Amino acid sequence: MTFKELKNFRAAAFAALLLIAAATHAQTASVEIQGVSAADAGKKNQTFAPSIAHLKGVLKETVFGTFTDAGKQDITVTAGAKASSRVKQYELDVTLKDAKPGKCRLELTIKDGGKPIGDPICVPVTKGQPKMVAQVGNREQPLILIFTLKD
């Protein structure tokens, strides 16, 4: 291999690595999972724990009146790989299905005691916009799962 061929090969290899790195980054998403315990269905004046007050807009859509923080976790999901999280007794398996700048599509499987409690849920999420994904558990005092895309 001549010096010129070696130089061209190195340039092509470097360009390929940059493309792979960009593609890999584009297929990764950072997601905040917030658990909220809800109670007091039908209560007229809703009350929110201070740590979840920023979620009032999403939680006002429910019939519940009292909301408390049930825990928050940040996860990073990568295309083709499963990320796991736990909120209260529920295990959450999250897979990134598609990612574009500012939005992504996730697949969520919720488990209780290691067993899925339903079919996987496909969830579109937009950066900075909390999305109520599921209500699980006791009908009178459910756990509400809220996802927010962070990047």
> Model confidence over 82-134: pLDDT tens digits?
999 999 999 999 999 999 999 999 999 999 999 999 999 999 999 999 999 99
In the structure, what pLDDT confidence band is assigned to residue 151 with cuts at 50, 70 and 90? confident
In the predicted structure, residue 135 carries a pLDDT above the cut 70: yes
Q: d(Cα 109, Cα 142) in Å, to the nearest integer?
A: 17
Give the pLDDT mean for 32-50. 95
Mean pLDDT, the chain, whole residue set: 88
Of residues 9 and 108, which shows the higher confidence score? 108
Q: d(Cα 104, Cα 113) in Å, to the nearest integer?
A: 28
pLDDT at 44: 87
Q: d(Cα 110, Cα 119) in Å, to the nearest integer?
A: 8
Residue 129: count other Cβ atoms within 10 Å of its Cβ. Answer: 13
Question: Do 70 and 137 contact (CB within 8 A), yes or no?
Answer: no
Q: d(Cα 66, Cα 58) in Å, to the nearest integer?
A: 14
Report pTM.
Answer: 0.81
Lowest mean pLDDT among 11-20, 27-36, 69-78, 99-108: 11-20
Long-range contacts of residues 73-80, Cβ cutoff 8 Å, at least 24 apart = 73/32, 73/33, 74/30, 74/31, 74/32, 74/33, 74/150, 75/30, 75/31, 75/33, 76/28, 76/29, 76/30, 76/31, 77/28, 77/29, 77/31, 77/106, 78/24, 78/27, 78/28, 79/27, 79/28, 80/27
Place of tokens 């070696």: 6
Beta bridge partners of 76: 30
In the predicted structure, residue 24 carries a pLDDT above the cut 90: no
pLDDT at 9: 54
